[in-house]
Amino acid sequence: TNWQEVKTYSDILYHKADGVAKVTINRPEKRNAFRPETVSQMFEAFCDAREDQSIGVVLLTGAGPHTDGKYAFCAGGDQSVRGPMGYVGGDGVPRLNVLDLQKLIRSMPKVVIALVAGYAIGGGHVLQLVCDLTIAADNGIFGQIGPKMGSFDGGFGSSYLARIVGQKKAREIWYLCRQYSAQQALDMGLINTVVPVADLEAEGLKWAGEIMQNSPLAIRCLKSGFNADVDGQSGIQELAGNATLLYYMSDEAKEFHRAQREKRKPDARKFPWLP
Ligand code: 2NE
């Protein structure tokens, strides 16, 4: 793949090729744990991918393996910068800005695919969870850890998890904080497929290529439809925004808009009241 670097960052890598963007968390020495700067750089990259009309799919992954040979997708929030009020960045301000990133991944009208090699733990596990699809390497390890180390994610991290794997399994995952293999994650419906680690990116690109052959508006409406069931009023807002978009594109909306601009009555009788 002819990856082009979009911008150089300290904590992530950001590339694009053939309608696909790739965001790579690049802190392998910390098992790709995120600090506030990591998250704001990811947020910027995802915003860019959202705005870029040529991009239909975003791959989210972690750099690796580390020099010790171990892989990680993301080990969650960087505990070395966690203060009494949140994760503290270079500006000294405590934040939990990964929540904004979770919402962006869920609401952006592009398909986000997590490519998980090695650990997806804690807030890193929640990141793979909120992606539309997850492809795991056979060395993938999935789990929550908060109740063992003084944290939890009662938002998407628990309620959306329960939507995906069911209430009993979600409670097991959080209450016991076990680690699950890629095969176990597949068996519980937490992820979409498992491939050898050497094939992870190629498999992601294959899925992205298939998606890119399909209708952008259909997939946009489907994503907001899937979200609407779970996301309450903000889910309905996304779905309704797409109805407005499609309406703007109709001859009917164009006639009503033109009539207002031309200070005349719209020709309403031209348009059917469909059954
Ligand atoms: C991920 C895991 C299980 C891997 O274990 P192992 O044995 O393969 O690696 P090791 O030796 O623990 O880690 C390697 C280096 O990465 C650092 C470690 O401190 C270590 O550094 P050195 O000692 O070599 O200098 N590292 C790993 N994870 C880190 C982290 N999260 N923050 C800072 N440094 C980290 C094992 O490393 C592990 O259990 N990691 C901790 C996982 C964790 O506690 N994550 C935070 C959960 S809370 C959260 O993410 C969250 C939330 O609950 C709510 C909202 C938002 C976020």
pLDDT at position 257: 98
Q: Which atom of ligand 1 is nearest the CA belonging to 179?
A: 3
Provide DSSP, the chain: ---EEEEE-SSEEEEEETTEEEEEE--GGGTT-B-HHHHHHHHHHHHHHHH-TT--EEEEEE----TTS--EEE--B-GGGEETTEEE-TTS-EE-THHHHHHHHHHSSSEEEEEE-SEEETHHHHHHHHSSEEEEETT-EEE--HHHHT----SIIIIIHHHHH-HHHHHHHHHH---EEHHHHHHTTSSSEEE-GGGHHHHHHHHHHHHHTS-HHHHHHHHHHHHHHHSHHHHHHHHHHHHHHHHHTSHHHHHHHHHHHTTS---GGGS----
Residue located nearest, by CA, to atom 1 of ligand 1: 75
pLDDT at position 166: 98
Residue located nearest, by CA, to atom 47 of ligand 1: 122
pLDDT at position 51: 98
pLDDT at position 60: 99
Answering whether pTM is above 0.90, one says: yes
> Vertex 74, ends 73 and 77: CA angle to 5°?
175
CA of 165 to the centre of ligand 1 (A): 24
Q: What percent of the chain has pLDDT over 70?
A: 100
pLDDT in tens, 220-252: 999 999 999 899 999 999 999 999 999 999 999
pLDDT at position 45: 99
| Exposed / middle / buried, residue 251 (Cβ in 10 Å: 0-12, 13-18, 19+) | exposed
Q: What percent of the chain has pLDDT over 90?
A: 99
**Average pLDDT of the segment spanning 124-144:** 98
Q: Determine if ligand 1 sits within 6 Å of the CB of residue 28.
A: no
**Average pLDDT of the segment spanning 77-100:** 97
**Average pLDDT of the segment spanning 4-27:** 98
pLDDT at position 126: 98
Q: What is the ipTM, given to two decimal places? A: 0.99
Residue 265 pLDDT class (50, 70, 90 cuts)? very high
**Average pLDDT of the segment spanning 97-123:** 98
Q: Which of 25, 31, 139, 178 to mutate to test the pocket of ligand 1 (most atoms within 8 A of CB)?
A: 31
